[in-house]
Structure 1
């Protein structure tokens, strides 16, 4: 076990009734070009992407990848460099539990953003450092459910223990009552670096010169993130994942069965986002 007595997070994937999508605000505030300036590659793990497999890039951080990294590190302390907008809730829980079970110190460094499932992973650290310009975001599980009122009520009931367990993890770390942590989640709360330390969700600050930015990487990912945001907005409209992928592939001149590619026209992306945001918020 890690040095802290961290709570285990039990969450069984329920793909038959729900799907977890990226948060559009988190994507908007995520700088994908951030990384640590120097790291001990032998004992560090980088989580600098969305959580779970990403269909738009073929990347993403999976629990399988983290398990392999931990096996390679072996019987040593681990440093986790984290900058993620979140993603697959269950993958985030699995990664949290793996880090929690590591028998040596786990140090988490939030380089830019630890949002949603990324914030759950951060809680596995024996110590957590965040940049003063960094952010942490916590919220309730976001799901898609289809059916009549009984089906929707059952879906809501199913998610209650997940949200309660997540509130327990945040409360354990911060020292606040579980109800207060649940209130943070209900309000989809954003903490800047100073607020995260003040709330007890982080222990201290990263040195200002520890984080570097790859501007080319940030620019490359800008359009990718825009397409991810379109996909998330379509998800909130209730469109199933397969239909969203097909629609976006057609919009980009591809075919529904083709591997996803990314739109390169920034004006086209901006227009689609504006139209979708207007439509879905009416």
Structure 2
């Protein structure tokens, strides 16, 4: 399996303490960790091969939820403090790993995305029902991580996941998914560009788009036309009568 993580360790000096940095880039496990004893053990051994606080940089679109769950648990159990820094994107399973941080920070230009778990299933009705039940349980487990970190109600978290919600740093901090924004001093110095919380919901955007399409395609009913008088007008009858009189 191709490793999606990389360690960078800096030895202690007279002026600085030892630093351990973990980089999580790209897809979280190109192959599932389900029924894999080797890869999770390798990650755990590298994690516990040193001591002291850890900084975890995340830039990942997500991936295998089993791998994310195990990494989350390993970071939660780690003896030192874990500072998570999101410098690009923490989407899907990667957002779950981010919740393990003792402190979670985002770059002012990064994004976080949460959504419902997905899978591929094949089989008869019974197999489809098993897949649906499994996805429901996976969602509940993911919600546990979000609930512990944010303090939001499970109903609120479920709604955000249903809508496939994208958050910028300020919105993520407002909702409790992160603790602070990286380089916040530089951001606050620029009064001309206030920090605005932004949250993107795929469901809301699709509903808005469909509404606009429906508005464009709508055929307005023709206005009712006034009933035209039936027969001939009095003037026409008088002209015809005068014409007849000329021949009498």
Within a 5 Å distance, the mapping from 1:92-171 to structure 2 comes to 92-171=68-147
Contact 1:45 1:69 in 2 (8 A): no
1:69 is matched with 46
Question: Which is bigger in relative contact order (C-alpha 8 A, separation at least 6)?
Answer: 1
Contact 1:129 1:205 in 2 (8 A): yes
Higher strand share: 2
Distance (whole Å) between structure 2 residues aligned to residue 208 and residue 198 of structure 1: 14
C-alpha distance after superposition, 1:65-113 (max 9, x if no partner): 5323312223x11111111111111111111110011012111000110
Distance (whole Å) between structure 1 residues aligned to residue 124 and residue 46 of structure 2: 44
Cα deviation, residue 39, structure 1: 8.3
Contact 1:119 1:137 in 2 (8 A): yes
Contact 1:106 1:126 in 2 (8 A): yes
Distance (whole Å) between structure 1 residues aligned to residue 54 and residue 138 of structure 2: 27
Distance (whole Å) between structure 1 residues aligned to residue 41 and residue 91 of structure 2: 20
1:180 is matched with 156
Contact 1:168 1:181 in 2 (8 A): no
1:48 is matched with 25
Distance (whole Å) between structure 2 residues aligned to residue 80 and residue 40 of structure 1: 14
SS in 2 for 1:190: strand
For the pair shown, which has the larger CA radius of gyration, 1 or 2? 2
- What's the TM-score once normalised by structure 1's chain length? 0.55
Q: CA RMSD in A?
A: 2.6
Distance (whole Å) between structure 1 residues aligned to residue 123 and residue 76 of structure 2: 37
- What's the TM-score once normalised by structure 2's chain length? 0.62
Distance (whole Å) between structure 2 residues aligned to residue 154 and residue 134 of structure 1: 36
The runs of 5 or more residues in structure 1 that have no matched partner are 1-37, 56-61, 211-282
SS in 1 for 2:152: coil
The runs of 5 or more residues in structure 2 that have no matched partner are 1-7, 12-18, 33-38, 187-248
